[in-house]
A and B are shown apart, each in its own frame.
Chain A
Amino acid sequence: MNAIEQNPEWQAQQHAERPERPGDPEAVRAYRAVATAVRRASPPAPPPDLVERCRAISRREIRRQTIHRRLFTACLTAAAVAVFLLSIPGLARLAAAAAGTPWPMLLTALVLTVSGARLAGRFRPSGIDELTR
């Protein structure tokens, strides 16, 4: 038994956690005195604009998810179209010729990477404030 557990007041708490209910008049008065003071000293309710921002989180999240879903669908469609076009013999040869030299390949890869990163950055929420603004 540690120091706190030896304390009579702590032991009393084990039997009457919130003394308003069990009915020890002294304990009830003590509880109410502290409770009243703590309530009065407690911070007020959250600011209304904050509550409104929190309420809007659902709408904004749904919108963000919709954008992500559409972006994913668009990428998938673009890839399918590219595969289809490359399956046409003439276009495939043209693409192979373009890819024959190293620098166009590198340039194409660079442009695609930069565009992809910019596109992803535009739709990725960078912070909670931005998301809920």
Chain B
Amino acid sequence: MSDDRTIVAQALARRAGGFEALVDSHHRLVWHVLLRMVSDREEARDLTQEVFLRVHQRLGQFRFESSLATWIGRIAYSIAVRHLERKRIPLADEDSLADVADSAFCPEQVAARAGLDESVGRIMDRLSPLQRTIVSLYYFEEMTTSEIAGIADMPAGTVKSHLFRARKRLRDELQQQQWNPR
């Protein structure tokens, strides 16, 4: 948090390299959120610039109530949501929660199979934008469910449910591929 204060203070004071340092420390997070949400590199490029422009315009309003990463992540998320709404792409699947009542989760067995990375990538692309983003933030950015909840502006329990459903779908589809390998 003290790092956040230094970065914000330097950017607000318009010191040389102040805003650049902020971009350097958060561009990966913004890129992953946007790319996972919109699934299109060109659109993610435009939106990444829009996010940092908004960050630049609103940095003075940051009150240190969360980490800077969460605040920037939330801006990226909200810009991505608005973009998806404009394109009428649903954020989350409308599938029922009732079909996941009793499942034994064993990703280790799944992980031992050949060609896993490619398969996981393909299946990740088929998840809903919200689930893709949550899985990516949890496993790739190593954020806690509370931090992800801060970004997506939803309860931590809902994040856990999405995470759970995403993993179940990963497992189910990987198991299916075991019988029908491409």
Which of B49, B108, B140 meets A132, CB within 8 Å?
B49
Does A3 lie at the interface of the complex (its beta carbon under 8 Å from any beta carbon of B)? yes
Q: Which 9 A-B pairs have the closest CB atoms?
A: A33-B111, A58-B19, A41-B121, A46-B31, A38-B139, A40-B117, A41-B120, A54-B52, A37-B120
User: Closest CB of chain B to A119's CB: distance in Å?
Assistant: 23
Q: Say yes or no: B100 contacts A4, CB within 8 Å.
A: yes
Contact B31 A128 (CB under 8 A): no
Q: Are B53 and A61 in contact (CB under 8 A)?
A: yes
Q: Would you give the shortest CB distance from B73 to chain A, in whole angstroms?
A: 15
B139: contacting residue among A39, A54, A131, CB under 8 A: A39
Interface residue ranges, A against B (CB under 8 Å): 2-4, 6-7, 9-10, 13-14, 17-18, 29-30, 33-43, 45-47, 50-51, 53-55, 57-58, 61-62, 128-129, 131-132
Known contacts A7-B103, A10-B160, A43-B32, A37 near B18 by CB under 8 Å: no
**Measured between C-beta atoms, what is the minimum distance from A78 to chain B in Å?**
28
| B interface size (C-beta, 8 A) | 58
Contact present for B49 and A40 (CB under 8 Å): no
Q: Are B46 and A30 neighbours in the complex by a CB distance under 8 Å?
A: no
Least distance between B29 CB and chain A CB atoms (Å)? 10
In the complex formed, the residue of B with least CB distance to A59 is B19
Contact status A10-B164, CB under 8 Å: yes
Knowing A4-B161, A33-B107, A34-B139, the reply to whether A54 touches B49 (Cβ < 8 A) is: yes
